[in-house]
Amino acid sequence: MTRLGFVVAIVLSFCVCAPMARAQGRVAWKTIHTTGDPNITIDIPAGVPQEGSDIVDPKTGTLMAFFATADNRTKVTCLLNRDEYSAEQTQKLWTTALSSSKIGMLCADSGANVSHFSAMDSQPTTSNGFPAATCVSSYTKSDEKDPGIVYSRFTIAAPSALYYLVCKVSSKDQDAAIWDWSAGWQDAVAHIQGSLHLPDAKK
């Protein structure tokens, strides 16, 4: 699995924890303080619980997670992660990477069970006053119960750490996952991304 060659891969697992409507316009939102860092707030669907310490662990970098189903067929998961910078992985390096035309590689997956990979979108942006970028891809992963995947990642190079919000839509096949993404989850995920407020956000 490639994430610009230097991003640690994370494995996203699913559980059917709460049903919700697919279209963003039908979603009621609630603002939460993340389990992993109460100074961070983000919107999640009102009927969906935030996962506890069995999944959320600041020591491993996972600050927030929720799992949901849409229309009893599509599984959705979102995780907020934080990576500390190092001598090799600096904010300056990530600021450069997030403005690169190759930012879509953050959503690449070249695993042995992956086929029909398609890069859907990638673009630089800002969040909380800091450099950021989004990317989206779709693929089929044959070893998943629901093998159709749309994978999105929102990455922020904040001064204190690198934050990334990963949301994954999983359905019976790749076409169904893409349809569910386009029919509402794209807007819903954009809302979640826009709601993220970091403690070191610029005023």
- DSSP H or E run through 193: helix 186-195
Instruction: Please measure the distance between the N-terminal and C-terminal CA atoms of the chain and give it in whole angstroms.
Output: 36
User: How far is residue 132's CA from residue 180's CA, in Å, rounded to a whole number?
Assistant: 25
pTM to 2 decimals?
0.85
Q: How confident is the model at residue 36 (pLDDT cuts 50, 70, 90)?
A: very high
User: How far is residue 84's CA from residue 33's CA, in Å, rounded to a whole number?
Assistant: 20
Residue 188 corresponds to which tokens in the numbers above?
A: 């819903």
Domains annotated on the chain, with CATH: 19-195 (3.40.1000.10)
Determine the Cα angle at 18 with ends 73 and 57, to 5°: 115
**Number of other CB atoms surrounding residue 144 within 10 Å:** 15
Q: Quote the percentage of the chain above a pLDDT of 70.
A: 86
Per DSSP, 91 falls in state H
3-state secondary structure of 6: coil
Return the closest-CA partner of residue 26 out of 45, 49, 48. 45
The Cα-based distances of 192 to 8, 32, 146, 173, 187 in angstroms read 23, 11, 23, 25, 9
Return the closest-CA partner of residue 156 out of 112, 76, 99, 88. 99
- For 19-33, the pLDDT digits (tens) are 444 444 568 999 999
Q: Find where tokens 């494995």 sit.
A: 11
- For 123-156, the pLDDT digits (tens) are 999 999 999 999 999 999 998 889 999 999 999 9
Per DSSP, 26 falls in state G
Which residue type occupies 193? Q
- For 79-100, the pLDDT digits (tens) are 999 999 999 999 999 999 999 9
